[in-house]
Structure 1
Amino acid sequence: MGRFLARRDTAAAELMDDPACDLQQLRNTYAQFKVVNAVVSGWHGVYQREIRPYLHPDSPRTLLDVGCGGGDVPRALASWARRDGLALDVLAIDADDRAIAFNHEQPEHLGVRFRQALSSDLVHEGQRFDFVTSNHLLHHLTPDELAALLRDSERLCTVRALHSDLERHPWAYHLFSVAARPFPQSFIREDGLTSIRRSYTWAELQGSAPPGWQVHPLVPFRLLLTYAP
């Protein structure tokens, strides 16, 4: 691994996390997530292996998506379930009011609701969900925030918690640097490269996870942190 990727660059900050960032570029970034995640996130495979076997046509399961960003992943999960004739109700939350505003401005999506909240808010409300998911959230968090999210996930989920993130790797960095050039007027390329620098290796993430959690490597250059009660 190149020296600049030998350790997590936790001092690097993503532009979209800046409250003063350009709002139009932020909105463009949310909109372009749909394309980027469709190519690199691997959520369809995760849905098929980890979620679909527990779904039923007539008994809706529930799913909480934490840090939903542009909302494309929770929308996709609901769409795949509906296409398969299965019932899945999704609540997608984000702490950033700009993300929730963006999602509320989009056409209503059957089976998906959006709310500004933290996972801890739902714990305090006594809510439970069959599944708890997140995409590209873990690398944003401090060690204390990561530990809190995983504790909340254990309290909130009844079937599976599934947190998917990037894996820090030189090939991931170089390939994304080239592949992300066609996304103009957004933070996709710069923030994506920052995200890779902030992300974990398999060993780092497994070492940061509490007992009961497992890290599974996915292609391409992804990690899935899972928990089953």
Structure 2
Amino acid sequence: MDDPDCDPIALDRTYARFGMVNRLVSGWRGVYRDLIRPLAREALTSPTGASSLSILDIGFGGGDVPIALARWARSDGLELVITAIDPDARAFAFATNRPAPPNVSFRREGSSELVARGERFDVVLSNHVLHHLDATALDQVLGDSAALARRLAVHNDIQRSRAAYVGYQVGITPIARGSFLRTDGLRSIRRSYTARELARVLPSGWRVERHAPFRVLALLDAVGMESASTGDGHDRR
């Protein structure tokens, strides 16, 4: 999928099936329930008059995660305003041609462009992005996340293990035909972090949690970081 000359038909099939794969393995429903829904409820009753929670999704791929989050929130009587960004023209074309709730918008750009404009969001998140990044790009995305998030940053990724590799290899076979789900998925597992490895490369203030089988979260309490920075004069990084 990272190859700009890859088969466009197979790529679209991959994007189209991301939703099924993420429902099965990514654990976003639990992340929504435990981390995002409480903040959305706070926004609904906030004395400042805010009734919605703003979210930035970095690297939206097929666009299924922001759409799922918006639908779960709506079913709970809550409102999320979700901006999803991806610099890949192919991902942008696919996502903007699929049905999406009106409170989900897709934009073709990177996180640094939003930082440069001074944009802020209550929550910054990503799915399956960190393992694609080299050390420089990882530092950039994490630094941008800290600058963009008012409340929370949560990057959800694969936790590398032999069991994850074997389980995915077997489980993905029925739905992988004609797509890159098998090849790229197995490659992603090989490139992903263990929890200990991820903890070693995260900046100060970030923490690692395991939130679902074979999953690892990089989390930043942006409120706590800002309070600490204001209190002691140290930079948030």
In the superposition, the TM-score normalised over structure 1's length comes to 0.92
Shift of 1:40: 0.3
Shift of 1:109: 2.0
Residue aligning to 2:95: 103
Residue aligning to 2:179: 186
Distance in 1 (alpha carbons) for counterparts of 2:61 and 2:186 = 17
Higher RCO, 1 or 2 (CA under 8 Å, sep at least 6)? Answer: 1
Residue aligning to 1:129: 121
> Root-mean-square deviation (CA), in Å?
0.9
Shift of 1:60: 1.2
Distance in 2 (alpha carbons) for counterparts of 1:168 and 1:99 = 25
Residue aligning to 1:4: none
In the superposition, the TM-score normalised over structure 2's length comes to 0.89
Distance in 1 (alpha carbons) for counterparts of 2:9 and 2:30 = 32
Deviations 1:21-47 (A, max 9, x none): 000000000000000000000011111
> What does residue range 190-229 of structure 1 map to in structure 2 within 5 Å?
190-229=183-222
Matched, 1:157 2:142: no
Matched, 1:75 2:76: no
Distance in 2 (alpha carbons) for counterparts of 1:218 and 1:129 = 23
Q: Percent identity?
A: 50
Deviations 1:94-151 (A, max 9, x none): 0101000001111232310000010000000110000000000000000110011010
Closer, same or farther in 2 for the Cα pair 1:131/1:170, shift >3 Å? same
Shift of 1:160: 0.4
Consecutive unaligned residues of structure 1, counting only runs of 5 or more, are 1-15
Residue aligning to 1:86: 78
Shift of 1:61: 1.2
Q: Residue 37 of structure 2 aligns to which amino acid in structure 1?
A: R
Aligned residues of 1:78 and 1:110 also touching (Cα < 8 A): no
Shift of 1:50: 0.7
Shift of 1:88: 0.7
Distance in 1 (alpha carbons) for counterparts of 2:70 and 2:133 = 26
Shift of 1:77: 0.7
SS of the counterpart of 1:161?
strand
SS of the counterpart of 2:210?
strand
Deviations 1:149-174 (A, max 9, x none): 01000000001000000011000000
Aligned residues of 2:128 and 2:157 also touching (Cα < 8 A): yes
Shift of 1:62: 0.4
Q: Residue 18 of structure 1 aligns to which amino acid in structure 2?
A: D
Deviations 1:39-85 (A, max 9, x none): 00001111111111111446111000000000000101111111110
Consecutive unaligned residues of structure 2, counting only runs of 5 or more, are 45-49, 223-237
The 4+ residue runs of structure 1 with deviation greater than 2 A are: none
Residue aligning to 2:3: 18
